[in-house]
Amino acid sequence: MKTAILAFALLLGAPFAAHANEFYIDPVDGSDAGDGSAANPWRSLEAVFEDGLIETRDWPDYPYEDGMQLVTVNAGAPVRAGDTIWLLDGYHGDLVIEHAYNTTPITVAAAPGATPHVRSLTVRSAQNWIVRGLSISPSYASSNEPIDLVEISDHNFFGPAWDIELADCDLFSVDDASGWGASEWVDLASSGIYVGAARVSVHDNRLRNVRFGISVDGADASIRRNVIDGFSADGLRGLGDRDVFEYNTVMNNKIGDPEDDNHDDGFQSWTVGPGGVGTGEVTGVVLRGNLFINSTDPNDPLRSSMQGIGCFDGYFVGWTVENNVVVTDHWHGISFYGMRDSRIVNNTVIDNVEGQPGPPWIMVTDHKDGSPSSNVIVRNNLSTDLSLEGVDVTGDHNLVFEDANALFIAPPFDLHLVPGAVAIDAGSAELAPDVDIERRHRPQGAGFDLGAYEYAVDAIFADGFDG
């Protein structure tokens, strides 16, 4: 049994040391009097915390103040840094991890072959926790009410959080929202993941039928390879410095209740400074290899006019926006109002449905206060429209197209280049990414291609992939 669990954990990338121990929680057959073994599991994670069964660290006093030093709590407890707590099948309620700063990660994960059900997850005032493989939904509770499914955050009184990882989880308001109308998408949809802490990694999760998808206020976050399918507000929000959003799929934005005043975006950012919204800076963000589709079904009666990448209240400084695909029925494909020292390279922007609103553009323009954008490179992009203004805001090797069929295999959803397309080998190598949206090496031919997809008959992929 332990050999199988070890192989499973290594497959997931969980950190294991020679001394690491494994414990079990079974909400059906577990007991508070158990020892956490596979034969005698504990009943709940809440009881494990309340009974002081985790050796960890916390602040010596509250409220937390800068400069405090962490001290050991529950010395000698069975669960320690580096260990794994396996969750077995059953309903685990609301999982709360707080007041627990570990020297190395403790992993809380679905046991091999198990699908633990959780109403919500909160990680607050904590460090070095990994959570994997949970199914998270308020529909598992006796009453389904809109909530934030996952919150990873600092706390003003109890202290900050950092170095948290959330992976391989399935999050949803309801499993099947096909019967929802516009009002249900606003009033009944829970929001997915909120990150208000530093150095948080959120990867390989699936979010379905939610209000907001993944919202990030914390700095140095890594948001990778998540799928958000069915949402009624914003798919991704990035408000923290140096956040990285890579290879996420955001699709099927549902139109909200007529009284819902949120303007929906695939990705949205804004700044807050001394004078309020639009008076600060968000710096060093990377948007790379993401796919945004407002609707995979143009005949869906709830199909939205989602704005693609909408950043309207700058300044946005030192951003890299590359290899993204935006398929939407709106004018704002990729829009930055107030951008400096940044680059927008090798993106593909296309209209989902002909007519207005749209077609979508790539735009760099003045800040809303009238001050100009500056020092922005817009290069190697394919788009249905392009609008650039500012000081040293330059565009080159871009193609504004009208006939999508002359470029793409099956627009608007299959945007691989057709043989002989004018975009092939037409790009600049300067500042171009070395892989495309599918991690296909660039260049594959005589030169770099335009857009997010590099054309190749026998492609060579990064990370050992060969297609």
Number of domains in the chain: 2
266 and 155 in one domain?
A: no
Least confident of 7-16, 45-54, 111-120, 303-312: 7-16
The model's pLDDT over 412-442, given as tens digits with 9 standing for 90+, comes to 999 999 999 999 999 999 999 999 999 999 9
267 and 119 in one domain?
A: no
Would 467 be classed as within a structural domain?
A: yes
Mean pLDDT value across the chain: 94
Query: What is the reported pTM?
Result: 0.94
pLDDT of residue 357: 87
- Rounded CA-CA distance 182/76 in Å is 54
pLDDT of residue 354: 83
Closest CA to 342 of 364, 313, 312: 364
267 and 146 in one domain?
A: no
Would 177 be classed as within a structural domain?
A: no
- Rounded CA-CA distance 384/331 in Å is 10
Would 87 be classed as within a structural domain?
A: yes
Q: With bands split at pLDDT 50, 70 and 90, how would you rate the model's confidence at 19?
A: low
Would 465 be classed as within a structural domain?
A: yes
145 and 275 in one domain?
A: no
Would 170 be classed as within a structural domain?
A: no
pLDDT of residue 260: 79
155 and 259 in one domain?
A: no
- Residue 4 exposed, middle or buried by CB count within 10 Å (0-12, 13-18, 19+): exposed
Would 384 be classed as within a structural domain?
A: yes
More confident residue, 7 or 233: 233
446 and 336 in one domain?
A: yes
The model's pLDDT over 20-62, given as tens digits with 9 standing for 90+, comes to 999 999 999 999 999 999 999 999 999 999 999 999 999 999 9
Would 194 be classed as within a structural domain?
A: no
136 and 268 in one domain?
A: no
How big is the chain, counted in residues? 467
Side chain identity at residue 395, one-letter code: G
130 and 19 in one domain?
A: yes
Task: Check whether 347 has a pLDDT greater than 60.
Answer: yes
State the average pLDDT over residues 72-89: 98
Pick from 128, 160, 192: which residue ends a domain? Answer: 160
277 and 155 in one domain?
A: no
- Rounded CA-CA distance 121/183 in Å is 26
- Rounded CA-CA distance 413/326 in Å is 10
pLDDT of residue 234: 97
Pick from 160, 183, 216: which residue ends a domain? Answer: 160
Pick from 136, 160, 184: which residue ends a domain? Answer: 160
Q: Which residues form the domain of 17?
A: 1-160
Would 286 be classed as within a structural domain?
A: yes
5 and 131 in one domain?
A: yes
Per-position b or e across 16-35, b if 16+ CB within 10 A of its CB: eeeebebbbbbbeebeeebe
Task: Check whether 9 has a pLDDT greater than 80.
Answer: no
293 and 422 in one domain?
A: yes
